[in-house]
Structure 1
Amino acid sequence: MRIAVTGSIATDHLMTFPGRFTDHLVPGELANVSLSFLADALEVRRGGAAANIAYGLGQLGLAPILVGAVGPDFADYQVHLKEHGVDTDSVHVSHTAQTARFVCTTDLAQNQIATFYAGAMAEARTLSLAPVADRTGGLDLVLVSPNDPEAMVRHTEECRELGVPFAADPSQQLARLEPAAVRDLVAGAQRLFTNAYEAALVQERTGWTHRQILDRVGSWVTTLGADGVRIERAGEPAVTIPAAPVREEADPTGVGDAFRAGFLAALAHGLPEPAAARLGCVLAGLALEAPGPQEYVLDRTAVTARLTEGYGEPAAAVLAPFLEAAL
């Protein structure tokens, strides 16, 4: 199954300041702030929703096609993704802008000062899916994940024109997208991905009721954090899958992306949605235990053990043939 993952590709630059920002704010002078903080640690992590999802799909043997825009600083990141099974030949490299970047400094009180630089991501609106389909021999599914808003709308409309099924994952861009654009992204999606907060926001932005949204999508998959995931289809009872066991929480960044990778990979191999959700939850748990969204490594024995611990041997057995082939 050929899955194209469209969306953001970025790097995160995370620093820590061994003090408190508030100690350096002068009352009465907040209209003229000029501050510099000496950080004592820096972590550079690979990220971006589309790249995170593609990373997980690649580890599960899907050879996903990553579609997005980056800068000329992408070379090392590209090697990393290729080494993990991601097709990066449809990634556009800008000649004028750097890869999107999130720069954040956190103090001892967990206060943060952050800046997001969209950079090359703005050029994603110029990308067409037709050449991607021609190069790869056709697409079976396109996942439209957070990206430049115009790019998200364009990719969705092009899927309709090409007759390619698509999954909608608007996530953090919901607040920025116009109501008409959100309706365009959702209507006709084979699957809609949200978290619990985004589920309410989709209703608010579209003006549609919960039932009206279900009538317009194949299934609605809502991640619920520690409570697992809920899968809904029009006219059918909702199915809730508990979260997988987690040993230690390290970093929540990219946990939802890891879930999507596991879920879509299992579906691509013909497994039912509940089984796919269980695998997605296991990947989400492994990502939560890792220090970054692309730091977890999949091992068949470890994944099977988590499935067995969280859902029992029969549930693990359903996924065993796929895991044996993929890992």
Structure 2
Amino acid sequence: MRLAITGSIATDHLATFPGRFADQLIPDQLAHVSLSFLVDDLEVRRGGVAANIAFGLGSLGLGPYLVGAAGEDFAEYELWLKAHGVHTEHVRRSSGLQTARFMCTTDEDHNQIASFYAGAMAEAPLIDLRDVARRMGGADLVLVSPNAPEAMLRHTRECREERLPFAADPSQQLARLSRDEVRHLLYGASYLFTNAYESALLLELSGWTRQEVLGQLGTWITTRGAEGVLVESEGARPLTFPAVPTAEAVDPTGVGDAFRAGFLAALSWGLPVSAAVPLGCALATTALETVGPQQYTVSAPDLCSRIERTYGSPAARLIAPHLEPLG
């Protein structure tokens, strides 16, 4: 299955604050916030939603095609991605801008305050997805993940025009989109990914009810952190899945991206949602136990063990044969 993963490519600058953001917020002064947090550490990691998802898929042996815009400083990052099974020939290189930067501080409750500098991502709307798909020999599924809004809208339109199956993952870019733009991204999507907060925001911005959203697309997957995952489709009973537990939560950055990688990998192997969600959750927890969204390693025995403990032997048996080549 040929997967085209469109979206952001970035460098993450991750800091940890040894306290709670909420303790620093004065309710009657929220209109005049001016805060500085003294952090304990700083980790500089490779990131960007599309690159994170492509890394996860590559680590699972899928050979995804990364489609996005990076800067003139991309060479070392590109070597890393190639070493982890990612095709990078469809990444646009800017000649004058740096690769995007994600700057995030996480408190002891795993709340986050972040900023994002677009950099070379501003050139992503110049990418012709139709040309990319032709050079790929066709795309079986295109993921439209957070990117320059104009690029997300263009890629979605091109998918519909070329009849390319696509998944919508607007995530943190929802706040930048108008009602018509949100609706444009959803119509005809095979899958929609959101977290719990984004789910509520999407309903508010689109002006649609939950049932109206489900009428526009195939399957809606909502990740809910420690509460697990909700899967909904029009006319079907909602399915809920628990999260894979951990006693070693370290860094939530990129956990949702790891979930998407595991989920899409299982789909590409022809497995049902009942197996795709467990693999996504197992990979997400693996990512949660490391600092940075591309620092985890994939172990077939570990993933299968996590899946069997949480979801039972049937799910593990479905997934295990596809993980065996990874060792």
Alpha-carbon spacing, 1:313–1:161, altered in 2? closer, same or farther (3 Å): same
Residue aligning to 1:240? 240
How far, CA to CA, are the matches of 2:295 and 2:246 in structure 1? 16
Structure 1 position 118 matched with structure 2 position 84: no
* Secondary structure of the structure 1 residue equivalent to 2:73: helix
Residue 40 of structure 1, CA deviation: 6.7
C-alpha offsets along residues 63-115 of structure 1, whole Å, 9 cap, x if unaligned? 10000111011111111110110001100110111000123567999998754
How far, CA to CA, are the matches of 1:182 and 1:110 in structure 2? 28
Residue aligning to 2:101? 101
How far, CA to CA, are the matches of 2:185 and 2:135 in structure 1? 25
Aligned pairs for 1:11-160 within 5 A:
11-15=11-15, 41-104=41-104, 115-160=115-160
Structure 1 position 227 matched with structure 2 position 222: no
How far, CA to CA, are the matches of 1:262 and 1:5 in structure 2? 13
Residue aligning to 1:304? 304
Residue aligning to 2:28? none
- The one-letter amino acid paired with 2:14 is L
Alpha-carbon spacing, 1:87–1:180, altered in 2? closer, same or farther (3 Å): same
TM-score (norm 1): 0.90
- The one-letter amino acid paired with 2:164 is V
Residue 13 of structure 1, CA deviation: 1.9
- The one-letter amino acid paired with 1:132 is V
Residue aligning to 1:170? 170
How far, CA to CA, are the matches of 1:268 and 1:110 in structure 2? 32
How far, CA to CA, are the matches of 2:107 and 2:282 in structure 1? 31
How far, CA to CA, are the matches of 1:143 and 1:161 in structure 2? 15
Residue aligning to 1:283? 283
Alpha-carbon spacing, 1:133–1:255, altered in 2? closer, same or farther (3 Å): same
Unaligned runs of 5+ in 1: 24-30
Alpha-carbon spacing, 1:140–1:106, altered in 2? closer, same or farther (3 Å): closer
How far, CA to CA, are the matches of 1:239 and 1:263 in structure 2? 15
Alpha-carbon spacing, 1:41–1:163, altered in 2? closer, same or farther (3 Å): same
Alpha-carbon spacing, 1:321–1:38, altered in 2? closer, same or farther (3 Å): closer
Residue aligning to 2:192? 192
- The one-letter amino acid paired with 2:270 is G
How far, CA to CA, are the matches of 1:107 and 1:250 in structure 2? 11
How far, CA to CA, are the matches of 2:204 and 2:263 in structure 1? 26
How far, CA to CA, are the matches of 1:145 and 1:294 in structure 2? 17
Q: CA RMSD in A?
A: 2.6
How far, CA to CA, are the matches of 1:228 and 1:110 in structure 2? 17
Residue aligning to 1:9? 9
Q: Which has the higher Rg, Structure 1 or Structure 2?
A: 1
How far, CA to CA, are the matches of 2:74 and 2:117 in structure 1? 15
How far, CA to CA, are the matches of 2:161 and 2:19 in structure 1? 54
* Aligned residues between the structures: 318
Alpha-carbon spacing, 1:160–1:326, altered in 2? closer, same or farther (3 Å): farther
* Secondary structure of the structure 1 residue equivalent to 2:192: strand
How far, CA to CA, are the matches of 2:65 and 2:52 in structure 1? 12
How far, CA to CA, are the matches of 1:269 and 1:20 in structure 2? 42
Residue 116 of structure 1, CA deviation: 2.4
- The one-letter amino acid paired with 2:171 is S
* Secondary structure of the structure 2 residue equivalent to 1:252: coil
TM-score (norm 2): 0.90
* Secondary structure of the structure 2 residue equivalent to 1:72: coil
How far, CA to CA, are the matches of 1:269 and 1:188 in structure 2? 22
How far, CA to CA, are the matches of 2:204 and 2:5 in structure 1? 26
Residue 325 of structure 1, CA deviation: 3.9
Residue 204 of structure 1, CA deviation: 1.1
How far, CA to CA, are the matches of 2:100 and 2:304 in structure 1? 36
Identity of aligned residues (%): 62
Residue aligning to 2:217? 217
* Secondary structure of the structure 1 residue equivalent to 2:181: helix
Residue 284 of structure 1, CA deviation: 0.6
Alpha-carbon spacing, 1:110–1:255, altered in 2? closer, same or farther (3 Å): closer
The answer to whether the 8 A contact 1:245-1:309 is kept is no
The answer to whether the 8 A contact 2:299-2:326 is kept is no
* Secondary structure of the structure 1 residue equivalent to 2:81: helix
Residue 242 of structure 1, CA deviation: 0.9
